[in-house]
A and B are shown apart, each in its own frame.
Chain A
Amino acid sequence: MSEKKEKTGRVPMPEQDPNVRKRNFQEVPTGYTPAMAQEEAARCVQCKKPGCVEGCPVSVDIPGFINLVNKGDFTAAIRHIWSMNALPAVCGRVCPQEIQCEGKCILNKKGTPVAIGNLERFCADYEREHGTGALPPTAAATGKRVAVVGSGPSGLTVAGDLIQKGHSVTIMEAFHKPGGVLVYGIPEFRLPKAIVAQEVNFLERLGVEVRCNSVVGRTVSLDELFEQGYDAIYLGVGAGLPSFMNIPGENLIGILSANEYLTRANLMKAYKFPEVDTPIPLGKHVAVLGAGNVAMDSARTAMRLGAESVKIVYRRSRDEMPARAAEIHHAEEEGIEFMLLTNPVRYLGNEAGRLTGMECLKMELGEPDASGRRRPIPIKGSEFQIKCDLVVVAVGSGANPLLTQSTPDLKLNKWGYIQADQETGKTSKRGVWAGGDIVTGAATVILAMGAGRAAANSIHKYLTWGW
């Protein structure tokens, strides 16, 4: 590598070859070596007013940890990140860095921002593989008890923050395994489940109790939790209600919500069927509706399960696709087709009730809509049919009413999401906080963690000083 290139270009992270990885479930990028990490860290110019920190929803001191990587003190680097972000191994892998830290990096003006996500991931992985396993110090026990409902990114953040402040923390998870969307939603090839398990184990070693199979709202109510002696409750239950297209034929066999498809593949490990007992439909010709991260995850899962063709079907154009740039890039490399400006209008099936195809309309972009994106408008008479035997619907999700219906004194907004104070996460019910997708609607891991951090601070104040 020439000296000039080292100065201007990002150090690429080695990846599995697309033609190999598109048929396996191992992680795609294989990680930096220490030398690569130090080389990349040396590219950081250590801005006085770092844009990257502003771009980070949890304000990680990015130049600070990168400086430590540059010096080769990886242990100090991970400790520095931990003081601001409890889940760096996860964030380094799944944050949309291009619109956050890396998007604000001064080197981004030349199109080659520092690979902050890769470095964050490196620090966490290095610690996992080489670390002493020493735990950070925790404050003296306060005797206060906190129940955290949901073990996704925001719940884990709240649990980690509050246990270190000396409170006793119990996490209640509805599924049989903790991790929330990190376990049921994000595939193994993007976020290995062993990493999530280790993050949860880290919290358990700090003293957090994790109770699986606990459906709060059914197994136990919020008021019962208070009766049992909990002093505060954090609700981080996620959005959790799949949206469908509401077009004819939607209940044909072979049409699954992305939640179902990914839960089968990830949580239930159905990609190993029949080694495990949960099956997953193997589509030959697969269409995935939507173009967010969940759609990319679904499409790439279908490819790994042996599909002959996988299409992303999206009603807007490439510029509006909400997925992370890296996911779109990886999907394209793996042979996923992009059928843009296309909207399904009905599903076609056979007499056995199974899906055989889909009728679609071509779209064009009109004036910007409420989201600021140009509104897709159907082109009259442009109907056409495509052949498919599996459709995964990844067009977003709504508010799951299971918990909120059983808690009438929790105020909701008109879409059914919990109303919570933006700064603190306080809800209308005394002693109850909420954050993440059940407040904002479906968003990112890091935003959920940011909400968790804010709520944890507010809960700590409440437990120390009162409501």
Chain B
Amino acid sequence: MFPIVTREEMAQGTVILNEIEAPLIARKAKPGQFVILKANEEGERIPLTMAETNPAKGTITIIYMVVGKSTALFRDLKVGDGYQDVIGPLGRPTHVEKVGTVLCVGGGTGVAVLHPITRAMKEAGNHVICVIGARNKDLLILEEKMKAASNDLRICTDDGSYGHHGFVTDVVKEVLAQTQVQQVVAIGPVPMMKAVCNITKEKNVPTLVSLNPIMIDGTGMCGGCRVSVGGKTKFACVDGPEFDGHLVNFDELNLRLKAYCTEEKQCYDGYCRLAE
């Protein structure tokens, strides 16, 4: 078992943080890599990119939104409970080097994945501008941490309850108009990453995205996580999870993420009825 040592609720309980004891993974993990977690014997294998690792303490941290039965099971685990299985670190780490100015764009729980990458980019000597967004002020996560990890943090909310009133793409356009940016990293919901890539493509600024398709083993064996990148099929688990955003077929990815939406709903509804 992999015990949970810290648990936090964020964004009005819709987003959960778990710090998990997994010393072997913590020792090896680098920013951008993911783990696969399984709550119990009957559980699904769920891939999540790590938000933090602490090799000295032997822990890794994941931050996830509750969207279905598996994440609801995760939510219901308390400190002292544990995950039956945690596998990793998987995927290729983010390529971090000093390029000049880096613009990091995060939406929703993508901000959690963006945090270690942002910090690594700054530690590598880059000037890091950060844009993070959420639907409203209460749903925004990791503001303080992102502020510490970057040189310049901008915030957007869809309803204008905090920071810029509008989407992260507005601010991305603004930053690109004012500043010479050498590298963009965009992590969040698929429509957000697609919209950011449309803008940066026009400006010809290299853009890294981190994808989270459906997968089982995470080691290149099942091929469920295939994505089209530059017209070629890639496996997100071993070739990614990060790719050149200008080459990713986001529309295909968005459709493939819905492959099991009927089954997911059936499973979640069953779980919610049990809880009632």
A residues at B contact (CB < 8 Å):
174-176, 212-215, 218-220, 240-242, 244, 246, 250-251, 253, 256-257, 259-260, 263-264, 268-269, 273-279, 281, 352-353, 400-402
Contact = CB atoms under 8 A, between A and B. Distances in A.
Contacts of B258: 253, 352-353
Which of A256, A277, A279 has the most CB atoms of chain B within a 10 A radius of its CB?
A277
B44 A176 contact: no
Interface string B54-86: 000000000000000110010000000000111
Nearest to B227: A251
B166 interface: no
B42 A174 contact: no
Contacts of B260: 279, 281
Contacts of A241: 220-221
A263 B222 contact: yes
B100 interface: no
A260 B223 contact: yes
A242 B217 CA distance: 12
A253 B251 CA distance: 13
Contact of B263 (A253, A268, A269, A273): A273
Interface of B: 24-25, 28, 38, 42-45, 69-70, 73, 84-90, 216-217, 219-224, 226-228, 233, 238, 252, 255-256, 258-260, 263-264, 266-267, 270
Contacts of A353: 252, 255-256, 258
The main secondary structure of chain B at its interface with chain A is: mixed
Given A215-B90, A257-B222, A353-B256, 15 more contacts: A175-B217, A212-B85, A219-B89, A244-B223, A246-B233, A251-B252, A256-B223, A259-B222, A263-B222, A273-B263, A276-B42, A277-B43, A279-B263, A353-B255, A401-B238
Given A215-B219, A251-B226, A244 B233 contact: yes
Given A240-B220, A251-B256, A274 B266 contact: yes
B42 A277 contact: yes
Contact of B222 (A219, A220, A260): A260
B70 A401 contact: no
B186 to A, nearest CB: 22
Nearest to B39: A277
A273 B226 CA distance: 24
Contacts of A175: 217
Contacts of B222: 242, 257, 259-260, 263
Contact of B264 (A256, A257, A279, A402): A279
Contacts of A275: 42
Nearest to B225: A260
Which of A214, A220, A241, A274 has the most CB atoms of chain B within a 10 A radius of its CB?
A274
Given A268-B44, A274-B266, A240 B221 contact: yes
Nearest to B86: A213
Given A213-B86, A277-B42, A242 B259 contact: no
A174 B25 CA distance: 13
Contacts of B238: 401-402
Which of B85, B216, B223, B259 has the most CB atoms of chain A within a 10 A radius of its CB?
B223
A244 B220 CA distance: 13
A260 B222 CA distance: 4
Contact of B267 (A274, A281, A401): A274
A128 to B, nearest CB: 23
B221 A263 contact: yes
A218 B90 contact: yes
Which of B73, B84, B224, B270 has the most CB atoms of chain A within a 10 A radius of its CB?
B224
A264 B243 CA distance: 27
Contacts of B85: 176, 212-213
Nearest to A269: B42
Given A212-B85, A213-B87, A277 B219 contact: no
A352 B238 CA distance: 27
A279 B44 CA distance: 9
A274 B42 CA distance: 10
Contact of A219 (B69, B88, B217): B88
A176 B216 CA distance: 11
Contacts of A400: 219-221
A263 B220 contact: no
21 contacts: A176-B45, A176-B84, A213-B86, A214-B24, A215-B88, A215-B219, A218-B88, A218-B219, A219-B24, A251-B233, A256-B224, A257-B223, A260-B216, A260-B224, A264-B216, A276-B42, A277-B69, A277-B70, A278-B44, A281-B260, A400-B221
A258 B208 CA distance: 31
Contacts of B38: 176
The 10 closest A-B pairs by CB, nearest first: A353-B255, A279-B263, A260-B222, A257-B223, A176-B85, A277-B44, A276-B42, A242-B223, A253-B259, A213-B87
A280 to B, nearest CB: 8
A408 to B, nearest CB: 16
B45 A253 contact: no
Nearest to A273: B263
A85 to B, nearest CB: 27
Contacts of A251: 226-228, 233, 252, 256
B34 to A, nearest CB: 11
A275 B228 CA distance: 33
B254 to A, nearest CB: 9
Nearest to B40: A277
Contacts of B73: 277
B270 A268 contact: no
A277 B264 CA distance: 9
A213 B24 CA distance: 11
Nearest to B43: A277
Nearest to A257: B223
Contacts of B220: 240-241, 400-402
Contacts of A268: 44-45, 216
A143 to B, nearest CB: 25
Given A174-B219, A175-B217, A277-B267, A253 B42 contact: no
A244 B233 CA distance: 10
Contact of B255 (A174, A240, A352, A401): A352
B54 to A, nearest CB: 17
